[in-house]
Amino acid sequence: MVRNLVFLLTALALPVSTQVKASAAVRTACSVSAAPNSLRPSVLEPVVFLPDGRGVINIETESIGPRGSWVVETEFEGYRGDGYLRWAGHDLFFQPAVDTLAFRFRLKEATTYLIRLRNRHDHPDPTAENDCWFRLDSGPWIKLVDSWGSDGVARWSFNAYLESTGAFPEYELEPGDHLVELSPRSANFKIDSLHVLPKTVWAANAIDPESLKERDRPILGTKFGFDVDDPTDTWAFTPFSTLAVPFLSLPGNYAPCGRVFGGIGELLLAPELGLVTLGAMTWAGPGDPAVFLNIVPYEPMFLGETFTIQALFSEPGRIRLTDAIDIVIGDN
């Protein structure tokens, strides 16, 4: 991939800049739909959430999916993102570290940070079903509770505090990676989002978007992954007899639409600008994607450059084109 990318870019005089935000946006065809979610950035472990320009990190708790007896729900409106997590198991008042939820995040600046949990509890008794276990960087487990009287019942809030101190979690943290873990304590406790923010910012915001993740963006010198799949079996390709073959090109001037090829789909690449193959993998079947992981070279000439990735499914006698991903290579 590195050699081919260099070939594409050697004729370009790209200005070297700094602090370009990497991005990866899925683009679908305008005229001939591909199978849903046929191409998308991979969610690879460990996911590391990155701060925005203010140093704020916002994490959707449901983004890691159901875990154990944590279930994803949408019953109570006002949640962020795609839903929230509810502990559907029994009370664990004396037993932390069961079905633990782990959230990794990266800080750039040493300062005082607040950790705020957007939560909800609906039991008429404001002291019931209102807490979970919490710890930071493998420290001791501490009870995190939202108990603000009857006014705190049946609504989403950021009022969860440490029972041991009566204050919101507050820590002096150094740059680098850190880990927040949440473990169930009370049945039916609901958690919507986790926020890490400099104390100078103070107020967590329920409408801020989720923070970008290192692994789903093409950052110089890191790995960028994407999945090729037909999770709903729309195309009815034969597992283990079908190849997934992705290509990369510079973007054409006809975006967002492409060129239609009858029976194959809509080409969203720009072959006249040169195509780079990113390999080929056997597809194992619906919901078991071919995962491609490519190293983005640490070369200033790529910084801020835009590319398009699209793949094809191929078995004897049949070819179909997937969705596309438009990527911008950045250094953050």
Beta pairing class for 142-145 and 131-136: antiparallel
- Judge whether 167 and 114 are in contact, CB under 8 Å: no
Return the residue matching tokens 């101190």: 165
Chain centroid to CA 157: how far? 23
Q: Where do the structural domains in the chain lie, given as residue ranges?
A: 2-45+215-328, 48-212
Instruction: Tell me the CATH number of domain 2-45+215-328, given options 3.30.700, 1.10.10, 2.60.40, 3.40.1710.
Output: 2.60.40
Closest CA to 191 of 97, 81, 86: 86
Q: Give the model's pLDDT for residue 262.
A: 85
For 4, counting Cβ atoms within 10 Å of its Cβ (0-12 exposed, 13-18 middle, 19+ buried), the class is middle
Continuous segment of H or E residues that includes residue 2: helix 2-9
Q: Give the model's pLDDT for residue 242.
A: 97
Closest CA to 191 of 98, 116, 280, 252: 116
Give the whole-angstrom CA distance, residue 272 versus residue 146: 59
Which residues neighbour 125 within 8 Å (Cβ) at sequence distance 6 or greater? none
Average pLDDT over residues 27-49: 88
Share of residues in the chain with pLDDT > 90 (%): 70
3-state secondary structure string across 18-54 = CCCCCEEEEECCCCCCCCCCCEEECCCCCCEECCCCC
Give the whole-angstrom CA distance, residue 61 versus residue 103: 8
Q: How confident is the model at residue 62 (pLDDT cuts 50, 70, 90)?
A: very high
Give the whole-angstrom CA distance, residue 255 versus residue 328: 15
Which residues face 160 on adjacent strands? none
Per-residue pLDDT for 13 more than 50?
Answer: no
Give the whole-angstrom CA distance, residue 331 versus residue 146: 39
Lowest-pLDDT range, 22-31, 64-73, 163-172, 294-303?
A: 294-303
Closest CA to 271 of 292, 294, 248, 255: 248
Which residues neighbour 211 within 8 Å (Cβ) at sequence distance 6 or greater? 49, 50, 51, 52, 56, 57, 58, 59, 105
Q: Give the model's pLDDT for residue 227.
A: 94
Q: Which fold has domain 48-212?
A: Jelly Rolls (2.60.120)
Q: Give the model's pLDDT for residue 8.
A: 43
CB atoms within 10 A of CB 208: 16
Return the residue matching tokens 């072959």: 271
pLDDT tens track for 198-209: 999 988 888 888
Look over the chain and give the mean of its residue pLDDT values, rounded to a whole number.
89
Q: Give the model's pLDDT for residue 6.
A: 41
Per-residue pLDDT for 244 more than 90?
Answer: yes
Q: Determine phi and psi for 2, rounding to 5 degrees.
A: -60, -50
For 10, counting Cβ atoms within 10 Å of its Cβ (0-12 exposed, 13-18 middle, 19+ buried), the class is exposed
Higher pLDDT, 4 or 274: 274
Higher pLDDT, 164 or 44: 164
For 187, counting Cβ atoms within 10 Å of its Cβ (0-12 exposed, 13-18 middle, 19+ buried), the class is middle
Q: How confident is the model at residue 12 (pLDDT cuts 50, 70, 90)?
A: very low
Give the whole-angstrom CA distance, residue 61 versus residue 81: 9
Both tokens of residue 213? 């993740």
Length of the chain: 332
Average pLDDT over residues 172-177: 96
